[in-house]
A and B are shown apart, each in its own frame.
Chain A
Amino acid sequence: MKGVGNSPADREGMTNKPIVACAGDWNLFCTLEQPLVAAIPQDSCEWRRSYGRITKFVYLEATFVKFNKDKTQSDLNLLKRPIFHIYWTDCLDVEYYKTTLREDIEVWIKHLEKNNITDWMIVLVETYDIRKTNKLLPRTTVLDKIKGDFAAKQTEDRFISVINPIKSEARSAESWRALVAKVRHFILVAYNKALIKFEEYMREQREKRNDPEWDFCKYFILQEQLAFVLEMLGLYEEALVQYDELDALFSQFVLNSNIAESPKWLETFRQPITSWQAVRLTSLVPQNLRELIIKKKASLLDFRSYLFQRQSAMLLLTFKPWEIASRCLTTVHNTLVELSLLSAHAVDGAAACWAHLACAETLRACERISSTNSALEACTNMNAPLLHNAKDKLHELGKLCGLLPGSPEPTSEQLHLVVMLSAGMGDSEPNNQQTSTDRLKEALCSKKSFQQYYLELAELAMGTYKHIGRLRFARTIGRDLAAFYSELGETSKAVVFLMDALRSYEEQGWKDLAAQTRLELIAAAKKMNDVDRYAKLSARIASTAELEILVRNFYFEEMLKTIRENLADKQESVLTELNDCFKLVSAELLPSERDVYITDNKVQCRLVIESDMPKDVLCTRAAIGTEAHQDKPTEKRTPVKNYKTDLTVSTASQANSPRKTVDTAETESNTLVTSIRLDDLKPKNPLLNPMNISSKLHYKEDNTLQKATVECQNPKLPLRRSDSTKYRKPSATVRNSYEAHFENENIIIHPGSNDIVVEYVAKKCGTFKLGQVSLLIEGKLEFLSNALIAAKMGYEVETQGISVYLNKVEPKKDLVAGLEHDMELVVTSGSSKIEEGATILLKTSTGLNIRFSEDECPMSRELSIPIQAIEPFQTTKIPLRLFASLQPRREKSIEHTVWLTCPWWESITEVPLHFSPPMIASWRLLTSNTRKFIHVTLKSSVAHFIQFILADPKLQCDGNNTVSDLNPKNSGELVVASDGTTASLMWELLKDPLVKAGPMKATFTVQYRPVNEDTSRTFSCPFDIQDYTTLFVIRTKLEPGKGSDFCRASQVCCLQLNLQRVNETEHTSLMYEVLADQTMWAVLGRTAGVITMESSTAEGQCVSLDVMPLGAGYLPLPAVRLSKYIARDANARDTSAHPRLEPFSPGQVYHAGKAKQVHVLPPAPKEHLDITV
């Protein structure tokens, strides 16, 4: 509820209220005035307006005046004239009405009609009479009479009776409420009419604005009335619109005055400005300024102040302080432009004073009003530019009045100006609070207070900008502050701001701004006498392409001068970023003459560097640091086993590391690159990739073309967001270790591209990465770059160790035992020198002997070989001869080992050697009845071609056995060769039949020599012969069946088996099996049987079997197999034991009919039988 106390009407200065003129019984009204005045604002009333304007609910207030018929007011004065008329009467007596009252009312109405007033009302105040109500209503009341006399159709509701609330409060409430509502309603209706009329007039006036006689001030006051009324009705937004219209109109005039002829009234605003008081942002109407406008004495600043104050007042009333803030700056800017356009005379700085004060006051007002957080937030956004502007204006004033730091003491003119300006600002309100005017005056008084105020404003502005995220603005203020501090002599503070600004400009590629900031920084550095920074910045500025060449040359000379004069006596060089002045284009490790980099040899690296310096510059030292590659192994590769050294051993000096790490190191080292262009490291611009685009034609159902489109097949790829390139702060210039580094000295670096070759003699082996690049200019200024570190450029240094190989002279031939071989010991010095007096000790395994090939000394198992001194990368060969003695064993290969003990290796190296025997002997026992023959075959299994000539073959048997040599004595030489040529030899075994034959050992020996050699050596081969005595002889015979002479196919024949024992044996129980070929023979009946041979009889045992030849021709007789039959052991408990068979050795059973064939005739009824044996 809106109480009276809160109503705007009670505020000081707000004097305008709708005026209601009262006629009739004034005394009666006086009793009712107070409750009426109080009641009207208590509720809102709907204000319907014509022309489709928005209906508003309005709280009304009213003042009541006595109707004065002599004082007529113009329609056009909205404020001072009564808007509504009421006639009050309490006449209840019809007679009295008829006699006097009627006349009075008539006069009143006539008067109103004469003045064209249609807004009136007649109120009849009745006293509530309790008796009356009980009676019937009187036939006619006074009200009826009045109505009857005055009412027209439209005005019937303007007659109202009300029960006097003073006399009977309880009963009057309803009628009283109705009265108040009516009053409100009619006032608004009246206003609607009045405003329409007024606006029409106003428009008319405005249309005349191009008349020479038209006066803006007059028009302003006219339209302002409308604003006042709207304000009075609480329609602040609409009131503001009125002011804005006026503002725009004025601005338009001023701007146009520049082009067209300016109207006469504008001269008013060209008058000299004498006052630049601060605007007062209250809801009060600044009457003094308004007076000035009415009197046409207002200067531009006065007018602008007034307008701004009124606009602000409307905004204050609608609680939009941020809007004031945002308008303030526009107003200030516009006003300053208008000032210059109108060229109104003012003291220098007056405008700045006014602008500063306007900003400061707005800030204060915002602060005062913004109670809520959201409002405060909205204000803060607007406040920052205000603070900025206030700060700028203060600076301008400071400059005018000579208050800036670093300026000389103010002159008398400047002091005079301060007085003038202070006077123009006027006096502040007598208030305890310090106003902005006071503050400004104080600041203008002394340098110290000025400085304090300026810094306060600047810091606040910067902080506010930062708070709202306008960092660029904040940095701009930072630069201003830097300049200020620099003047103050606090250069270090200035540098902080400048560095901050510089970084942000660099980050976003504003090179010109960065260059400018650098120029400011270098000035600060000079002031601070910071020679390091000065030298660095000079170099940087000299290399800045955005700057004038003269500036660059100047700073180039400065740089040289500083280095010579200030840095010469310094110990350390000044470190800075390489990219500032030089660009590393590419780096390349030059390949060495050998494939790998060897210790104690040069490693070279070529750098291509682009210099941005304007002139040639001497680079005292160019260097690249190196660092060991991570998880650096003591990398040593085992020398490659190439084809010619499958017997070799080679090890490098530090072969201790396990093989595994060697492998990983090798793969790891593969990732190091030897050449890069730094441009290649940058990610490729995705926009350069070809887009996969195709055109497509789309057809409608009836085959007409619907549309043609161009489609990107994979839109994600080109549309992918590239990460916004984050500016990386250049790596801190820290000098890395240059313990091992590439270096080159005293190079002249020209502007533009330069090739620099730096070199390094590798001392240690391992994998190394290129590290920091350093260019030392003029001995003292060192440029560092870490660009190569990320590039993983590196190289591998090896110590190629001494290698020792034991090589065959004829590498394609196998080593053969029993022959002497030429070998050589190959010693390669690698990257190191072999000193005089080194010896290698060779030891061999048993059976392997070695000697020098030159001297004929005997072979031994140990050999000490002196090595002559050799230079790096040379080879020495020592010829050796090697012999592996042949063991009387029948082995396919013979393994031997040579142990090398070298003075430069800690461990003994083992060389496995693989020999094959020259030939292999095999033997067979052959039987003919009871005679025995030994057949020996010699063949060579050597892989390469070799021929041996054999001589003097011998077979020696132990015991009482002898052999008779059946070999021809006078035949030519026996030859065994590895191409498959074999030699066969035969001996008959002569055995004493009386002696029981036991196992026999025999040794075969033969002399052999390779075809091209003279010395013969003995080859021997032992063998054991067992069970060689013939025990049984089997004879088989086929006889034709009974009644036939010949064996015919498909006729049953009789197969006779004769088994004869020829020697003593314990095996008497025998089993025979006839193994007939089933395609040729069909055995009828049993094919096997057990027989016992108890005694050795001449006849032996005979078995006959029925067999049938299946085909005709010469058929081999069925084979018979004889086995030892071992019956089931009767004593054995194991019932499952079966009788078993055991075979005889090959020589024990002689099968006499083995090769026999029988001629079988084809089946014919009359045929003769013929048996051929």
Chain B
Amino acid sequence: MAVCVAVIGKDNSPLYIGGIGNDPNADNELSRQWLVHTALDALEERLSTTNNSNTNSSTNTARADLRDLYLGLLYSTDTHKIYGYVTNTRIKLVLVTSSTSPGSNIRDAEVRTALRRLHALYADAICNPFHLPGDQITSLKFDKQVKSLMLNNV
């Protein structure tokens, strides 16, 4: 089950952070932000290494690498696993799952589909002509959809 989903902009500032409070900790929201924030390091590392490998390898594999926007598990802590996804415009999607809660046994493929759906939701949200790319996403609809995405992914 995803406990937190974040959309992070090109300049690494958060555009949207949504979480489901299932932890009893009071500073839950905040602690997840720390997780997402540090995940950026791993994410950027991943991006730079794929870039490097792109330059080294032939163009065909490079294209294949680029096509896969899902970056897989970025890192994990005792309690959480953090997955990453990056769009072609360098918008980063981060998904945090809890490894302690029941049913935490999430397959990679599930996370991949969840992040793909999130990408689609994000694309829908910024299609709003009144939304300026780079601004925080305040759409209630998006929030609702993301929350349900997190819950459905149990």
Within 8 Å of chain A (Cβ to Cβ): is B99?
Answer: yes
Within 8 Å of chain A (Cβ to Cβ): is B38?
Answer: yes
What are the interface flags for B23-37 relative to A under an 8 Å C-beta threshold, 1 for contact and 0 otherwise? 000000110011001
- A64 CA / B7 CA spacing, docked (Å): 66
Within 8 Å of chain A (Cβ to Cβ): is B142?
Answer: no
Within 8 Å of chain B (Cβ to Cβ): is A371?
Answer: no
The residues of A that contact B100 with a CB separation of less than 8 Å are 337, 340
The residues of A that contact B45 with a CB separation of less than 8 Å are 468-470
The residues of B that contact A258 with a CB separation of less than 8 Å are 102-103
Judging by beta carbons under 8 Å apart, are A472 and B102 in contact?
no
Task: For A685, give the chain B residue with the smallest CB separation.
Answer: B132
Judging by beta carbons under 8 Å apart, are B104 and A472 in contact?
no
- A513 CA / B13 CA spacing, docked (Å): 11
Name the segment of B50-58, B61-69, B70-78, B111-119 touching the other chain.
B70-78
**Chain A contacts with B in 1076-1101, Cβ cutoff 8 A:** none
Task: For B13, give the chain A residue with the smallest CB separation.
Answer: A509
**Chain A contacts with B in 253-296, Cβ cutoff 8 A:** 255-256, 258-259
Within 8 Å of chain A (Cβ to Cβ): is B105?
Answer: yes
Judging by beta carbons under 8 Å apart, are A510 and B13 in contact?
yes
Task: For B44, give the chain A residue with the smallest CB separation.
Answer: A469
Q: Which of B11, B29, B132 has the most CB of A within 10 A?
A: B11
Known contacts A508-B11, A687-B132, A724-B11; A471/B37 CB under 8 A: no
Task: For A381, give the chain B residue with the smallest CB separation.
Answer: B45
Q: Interface size for chain A: under 10, 10 to 19, 20 to 34, or 35 or more residues? A: 20 to 34
> How many chain-B residues does the 8 Å CB contact rule pick out?
29
Judging by beta carbons under 8 Å apart, are A724 and B10 in contact?
yes
Within 8 Å of chain B (Cβ to Cβ): is A330?
Answer: yes
The residues of A that contact B10 with a CB separation of less than 8 Å are 724
**Chain A contacts with B in 188-246, Cβ cutoff 8 A:** none
Q: How far is the CB of A463 from chain B (nearest CB, A)?
A: 15
- A516 CA / B10 CA spacing, docked (Å): 23
What are the interface flags for B119-148 relative to A under an 8 Å C-beta threshold, 1 for contact and 0 otherwise? 000000000000011100000000000000
Within 8 Å of chain A (Cβ to Cβ): is B40?
Answer: yes
Within 8 Å of chain B (Cβ to Cβ): is A634?
Answer: no
Q: How far is the CB of B78 from chain A (nearest CB, A)?
A: 5
The residues of B that contact A330 with a CB separation of less than 8 Å are 76
Judging by beta carbons under 8 Å apart, are A516 and B30 in contact?
yes
Within 8 Å of chain B (Cβ to Cβ): is A385?
Answer: yes
Within 8 Å of chain B (Cβ to Cβ): is A461?
Answer: no
Task: For A465, give the chain B residue with the smallest CB separation.
Answer: B41
Picked from B34, B37, B41, B76, the residue with its CB within 8 Å of the CB of A333 is B76
Within 8 Å of chain A (Cβ to Cβ): is B153?
Answer: no
Q: How far is the CB of A116 from chain B (nearest CB, A)?
A: 43
- A505 CA / B42 CA spacing, docked (Å): 17
Task: For B39, give the chain A residue with the smallest CB separation.
Answer: A472
The residues of B that contact A1173 with a CB separation of less than 8 Å are none
Judging by beta carbons under 8 Å apart, are B76 and A329 in contact?
yes
Within 8 Å of chain B (Cβ to Cβ): is A512?
Answer: yes
Within 8 Å of chain B (Cβ to Cβ): is A473?
Answer: yes
- A363 CA / B153 CA spacing, docked (Å): 36
Judging by beta carbons under 8 Å apart, are A259 and B103 in contact?
yes
Judging by beta carbons under 8 Å apart, are A473 and B38 in contact?
yes
Judging by beta carbons under 8 Å apart, are B132 and A476 in contact?
no
Q: How far is the CB of A688 from chain B (nearest CB, A)?
A: 7
Within 8 Å of chain A (Cβ to Cβ): is B14?
Answer: yes
Judging by beta carbons under 8 Å apart, are A513 and B11 in contact?
no
Picked from B13, B42, B104, B105, the residue with its CB within 8 Å of the CB of A508 is B13
Judging by beta carbons under 8 Å apart, are A255 and B105 in contact?
yes
Judging by beta carbons under 8 Å apart, are A508 and B12 in contact?
yes
Known contacts A512-B30, A685-B132; A476/B11 CB under 8 A: no
Instruction: State the 4 A-B residue pairs at the shortest beta-carbon distance, nearest first.
Output: A509-B13, A470-B41, A255-B105, A472-B41
Taking beta carbons and an 8 Å cutoff, which residues of A are in contact with B?
A: 255-256, 258-259, 329-330, 333, 336-337, 340, 385, 392, 465, 468-473, 476, 505, 508-510, 512-513, 516, 685, 687-688, 724-725
21 contacts between A and B (CB under 8 A): A333-B78, A336-B78, A337-B78, A337-B99, A340-B100, A469-B41, A470-B41, A470-B45, A472-B40, A473-B38, A476-B34, A508-B11, A508-B12, A510-B37, A512-B33, A513-B34, A516-B30, A687-B132, A687-B133, A687-B134, A725-B11
- Beyond the given A470-B45, A508-B12, A687-B132, could you list 9 further A-B residue pairs with CB under 8 A, ordered by the A residue number? A259-B103, A385-B75, A469-B41, A470-B42, A472-B38, A509-B14, A510-B37, A512-B30, A724-B10
